[in-house]
Amino acid sequence: MSGGPWELVVPAPADWINLNQRLHWATRAKLTRAWRSATHIRARQACLVMGLDRVSITITVTKPTNRAYDVHNLMPTAKAVVDGLIDYGLCADDSNQYVTGPDLRPSEHKAPAQLLITITETP
C-alpha cells in the first residue's frame, strides 16, 4: 500500500498532558483516555488508512495563545495520540519496528487547541 502523507486533525478533548505536571494518577489516566479515545474516533470518522507496515508520525501542536512553551513537554499527550492511532489499526504496534516518532512541532499560528497529525508511510 502506498500513498500519503495522510493528515488528521484532533481538536483538544481535554487539557494537555505535560511532562512537568505532577498529577494524581487518576487525573492523568482520565486525560490520557480522553486524548487516546478522541484520536481513535477522529481516525475512524476520517476513514484514515489502516494496516500500514511502517509509518513516520509528525504532530504539530496548535495553542490559542502566543505564550512560549516547550513543545516536547507535551510528549505524554503525543503518546496517548499514537496509542489511539494504534487502537484504530493504523499499524500493528507502536514499537520502533513500526513507528518512527512522534516528532513534535509547534504551530506557527495561534488557533484553537488542536493537533495536526501527519502520517507518512516509510520503507
Q: Using H for helix, E for strand and C for coil, what is the string for 70-98?
A: CHHHHHHHHHHHHHHHHHHCCECCCCCCC
The predicted-structure confidence for 63-78, as pLDDT tens digits, reads as follows 999 888 999 999 999 9
Only one residue has cell 478533548, namely: 13
Mean predicted lDDT score pLDDT of the chain: 95
Sorted by where each begins, the domain ranges of the chain are 6-121
pLDDT at 33 over 80: yes
**What pTM was estimated for this model as a whole?**
0.94
pLDDT at site 1: 46
Sheet holding 99-106, edge to edge: 6-11, 114-121, 55-62, 99-106
Cα 69 to the center of its chain, rounded Å: 18
- Whether residue 50 is predicted with pLDDT greater than 80 in this model: the reply is yes
Q: Is the pLDDT of residue 27 over 50?
A: yes
- In CATH terms, the fold of domain 6-121 is 60s Ribosomal Protein L30; Chain: A; (3.30.1330)
Q: Which residue blocks in 1-123 are alpha helix, DSSP H? A: 25-45, 75-88
Say yes or no to pLDDT of 3 above 80: no
